[in-house]
Structure 1
Amino acid sequence: MNRTLYFNYIVDKIGILSYNINQKGKLNILDLHNHSENFYSYFLSKVFGWELVNLNPIQQNIEAIDLIDHKNKIVLQVSATNTKQKLESSLSKKIISKYSSYTFKFVLISKESTDLIKGTFLNPHKINFKPASDIIDNKMILNFILSTDIEKQKEIYQLVQKELGNDVDIVKLDSNLAIIINILSKENLALSNKVETNSFEIDRKITHNSLVATKSTIEDYAMYYGRLDKKYAEFDTQGSNKSLSVLQSVNSSFVEISVKHQNTSSDYIFLQVIENVKEKVVNSANFIEIPIDELELCVKIIVVDAFIRCKIFENPLSYNYANS
């Protein structure tokens, strides 16, 4: 299920970028094309293991070459035009002769390569170039991503999310939180200990538990504490007591992970709790699919909230705390 969520997100974002480049190109607005050179340098490097850099900031207005990878000997042009004339024009540029031992790749960011890969092309500088493998479009890239393992897909998803993701939609956030709270609250859990709902000072608890790598995550998502608290209150006034059920669910994930990984760092355990809670949500029969970035946002909010409320990780002794 995670594989599907990651892949669908990547497809959606690349598709939207491609569409916008195409539409703006018709109006001769090329700002997205320029930004795409930077995005595709990171994107293609992550997908194929290349080490591409954008050549344009180094040497202004270079024709035929946008990105270069000296280690793997690749020169690459990012193009929104899929014509034979455009490709042959690039292959004929004088600068290509400087890289005759490299492989030239022609990447189409808003058009398909279906007809182009069947053609033959003038290649006056004899640079390594095979249309079938060196003309690349988004469909080919996505098919390659589809065949990668889930860890690789997650890395690509995280890059695309950072580069092309949207700001938080608060209305959608509230709706998604409600969905996830409903799912987690239906878990069949029987914890004998009483759930504490006091909110300890976050920085003190972070230090007490030696959370270093995840400190910024906790601090970033703590800002949503009040919004989630309000959502819990709405449900609890209806007599459904969902806050108790959700906190118990997160606590059970923490206990399970802590027992399995006793000799690992607190940071690792924290991240695994997030993954475990996310799996519970995705595998629930009640789950209505939402974009993976929205799902991860909501799960992190809930896990950080549980941390603040002292349901996961050890609470500092003799510590002053504020009621939530």
Structure 2
Amino acid sequence: MKRVEFTNYINERFAVLQVRVNSRGKLNILDLHIHSENFYMYLLNKVYGWNLKNANQENQNVEAIDLIDETNKIVIQVSATSTKQKIENTLNKKSFEDYKKQGYCFKFVSISKPADDLRKMVYKNPFNIVFNPINDILDVASIESYISNMDIADMENVYTFIKDELGTIPDVIKFDSDLTSIIIILSRLDLSNNEQINNINSFEIDKKITFNNLDVAALIIEDYKLYHNNLEKKYKEFDKLGLNKSMAVLQAMRKIYIDAVAKKKYENDDQLFLGIIDEVKEIIINSSNYQKIAIEELDVCVSILVVDAFIRCKIFKNPEGYNYVITR
């Protein structure tokens, strides 16, 4: 069915965009945040029938507003920072007094995080501009839901736009991925019940971090190296499903690393580390056996995999004599 084909494709592309926005934000690389303003301008116009324009193109440095629809009287902020404070800081801007007088309503679009909790909150709105959190806070999930109920011709129009903007997935049969299989296993694990890391040498890992000039990535490694033992057990279970399955997962990440280095895809080692996380997520999202999970949960599980691959010598250079296993 075309509706299923369109919906699956749109959801996949949105998931990939969320992954990239989140990862680049961690490095304070905001090019995608800027481009997302125009992407969402055209998308929201197609989905909701609005006449949004880029507010900064109409009037440079418009305070707190990214998009404006003068016909339907809508002002919108597009943001990867999805917090109550962010929304209240925006509503507190003096320019909202004029928007209120002119009969505008305010909408907030979260482009990287779910907004379910934000919709339940009460906000300080000093200029009393029309703003109903339940209806006026949008996120990827709410936009996807609206698109899924559109007329098939309108849905195809949105599908074509997203395909042009966010890239084309080749029209080939999708394959199962062992990376996805291990992610599914990890997502079902209670990570709050963590085991002691009694078989890795933290000093050696720190030495490798320094050797590879990692700064931002060092924080990720510190957070997720704690799950090495948990993953080791899951790899052993995974290998019972077939010969060399855990090796295939580790080699897949090594191939991503080697390819990125050979093509000089990233400017520095921190970007390379986060880039590997992004590329693993994309493989998982686009595999036939992917079961949709929350973007934050996917981020955690993939970070555990990539950090483990770093510890196990599969990615990044090893200093002389590197040995992560504690000798007993």
TM-score scaled by length of structure 2: 0.51
Provide Cα deviations, 1:26-59, integer angstroms capped at 9, x if missing partner. 1111000000000000001100111111111222
Q: Secondary structure in 2 aligned to 1:56?
A: helix
Alpha-carbon distance between aligned partners in 2 of 1:109 and 1:35, rounded to the nearest angstrom: 12
Per the alignment, residue 237 of structure 2 pairs with none
- Aligned-partner SS, 2:75: strand
2:201 counterpart residue number: none
Partner of 1:97: 97
**2: distance between equivalents of 1:13 and 1:72?**
29
CA positional deviation for 1:117: 0.6
Report deviation, 1:60. 2.1
Identity %, equivalent residues: 49
Task: Give the aligned residue type for 1:28.
Answer: N
Residue 128 of structure 2, aligned match among 126, 129, 132: 126
Aligned to 1:40: 40
Q: How far did 1:96 drift?
A: 1.3
Kindly state the Cα deviation for residue 65 of structure 1 after the two structures are TM-superposed.
0.6
- Match for residue 54 of structure 1? 54
After superposition, the C-alpha distances for 1:242-275 in whole angstroms (9 at most, x for unaligned) are: xxxxxxxxxxxxxxxxxxxxxxxxxxxxxxxxxx
Q: CA deviation at 1:94?
A: 1.1
Q: In structure 2, what residue type is equivalent to 1:32?
A: L
Give the letter aligned to residue 102 of structure 1: Y
* Residue number in structure 1 paired with 2:78: 78
Query: Which secondary structure does the structure 2 equivalent of 1:77 belong to?
Result: strand
Aligned match of 1:108 in 102, 110, 115? Answer: 110
Alpha-carbon distance in 1 for matches of 2:62, 2:32: 18
Deviations 1:70-115 (A, max 9, x none): 1111000001011111000000111111211111000000011111
Distance 2:163 2:51 in 1: 20
Query: Per-residue deviation at 1:7?
Result: 1.1
Which residue of 2 is the match for residue 155 of structure 1?
Answer: 157
Distance 1:105 1:53 in 2: 14
Secondary structure in 1 aligned to 2:57? Answer: coil
Counterpart check, 1:66 vs 2:66: yes
Distance in 2 separating the partners of 1:22 and 1:97 = 32
SS in 2 for 1:87: helix
Can you list the C-alpha shifts for 1:120-158, whole angstroms capped at 9, x where unaligned? 111111100001000111100001111112111101001
Higher alpha-carbon Rg: 1
What's 1:278 paired with?
Answer: none
Q: CA deviation at 1:62?
A: 2.1
**AA paired with 1:81?**
T
Q: Distance in 2 between matches of 1:162 and 1:53?
A: 20
Q: Which runs of 5+ in 2 are unaligned?
A: 174-287, 289-328
Indicate the residue corresponding to 2:4 in structure 1: 4
Query: 1:96 is matched by which residue type in structure 2?
Result: F
CA RMSD of aligned residues (A): 1.6
| Secondary structure of residue in 2 paired with 1:81 | coil
Structure 1: give runs of 5+ residues left out of the alignment: 177-288, 290-324
What displacement does 1:8 show? 1.0
Q: What displacement does 1:61 show? A: 2.3
